[in-house]
A = this chain, B = another copy of it.
Amino acid sequence: MRVLVMLDGTVTDAETPLIRVDDLGITRGDGVFETILVVGGKPRELGPHLDRLARSAAMLQLPVPDRAAWERCVQLVLDNWQGGDEMALKLVYTRGPEFGDGSPTGYAMGLPIGEKVRAARESGVTAVLLDRGYDPEIVARAPWLLLGAKSLSYAVNMAAYRHAESVGADEVIFVATDGSVLEGPTSNVVTATGNTLRTTPPSSGILRGTTQGALFRAAERAGWVTKVEPMTVRELKDAEAVFLASSVRKITRVHTLDGVVLPDSSALHKELNALYESEY
């Protein structure tokens, strides 16, 4: 089952066409989104997700999202959900119809968790490194490139997934032209070595991770050292374990990287997932 609630509170079904053909979300990929995991009726990291939606909207110079309206919209999805214990909750916010009254388009969708997600959570994934084509030094001085905004213009991310599939991989880790590690198309990269967890910084033009953030909070309390700093491909490959953090897939173990089978990190994966779950 799926639930759809428009930002104005209209509850409806996801099959009914509700978007105009001239919506700039479709004609220009001009909007932002978030995907939130809901477990047992409780959205995880809703605050950080709404914060990030607002940051992305600011980068695209969209109208400031009405936080109270989004919170009501999310609650209506939760109230109307009759699916399983878990739900993927997607928020979409566009600049609205090009020939409309200037109002943005906003909606929230509640979606079931797919089989592929469950498989990735349990068995881990094969990942390939793909060049993302930019140098992080450009991030600060070229804000029009929208690096670090979760925009609807995700065609490149989807193409990267298709490329991965064509070489037998499940996942992608993007690499910058200076050889530094960036992020996955829909995840953050986390490595573990000794008692240190590392991830790459938003200053590299990547999204600040909500799930990575939750994991690091819990890990810090449990005595782990956490670092958010640039990481070379060499450091990634030399790490004791590599994980991808995403809201819906949670902490996913990378068992094979660029064709090389990594040491078994099942036990560590269990430990980190337990830490992450301890936040809820």
Contact = CB atoms under 8 A, between A and B. Distances in A.
Contacts of A59: 159
A135 B133 CA distance: 7
Given A146-B155, A155-B30, A18 B20 contact: yes
A63 to B, nearest CB: 13
B133 A29 contact: no
A177 B135 contact: yes
The copy count of this chain in the complex is: 2
B144 A151 contact: no
Given A138-B131, A146-B159, A94 B26 contact: yes
Contact of A19 (B19, B138, B144, B146): B19
B109 A28 contact: no
A156 B145 contact: yes
Contacts of A109: 21-22
A157 B142 CA distance: 12
A29 B153 contact: yes
Contacts of A177: 135, 138
Interface string A117-160: 00000000000001111110010011111110101111111111
Interface of A: 2, 4, 14-31, 33, 59-61, 90, 92, 94, 99, 107, 109, 111, 130-135, 138, 141-147, 149, 151-160, 162-163, 177
12 contacts: A18-B20, A18-B21, A26-B92, A28-B152, A30-B155, A31-B155, A59-B159, A60-B158, A133-B147, A144-B156, A151-B155, A153-B156
Given A29-B154, A153-B154, 19 more contacts: A2-B99, A14-B22, A14-B99, A15-B20, A17-B17, A18-B19, A19-B20, A21-B92, A25-B26, A26-B31, A28-B154, A28-B157, A29-B29, A29-B153, A30-B154, A131-B145, A133-B147, A144-B159, A151-B153
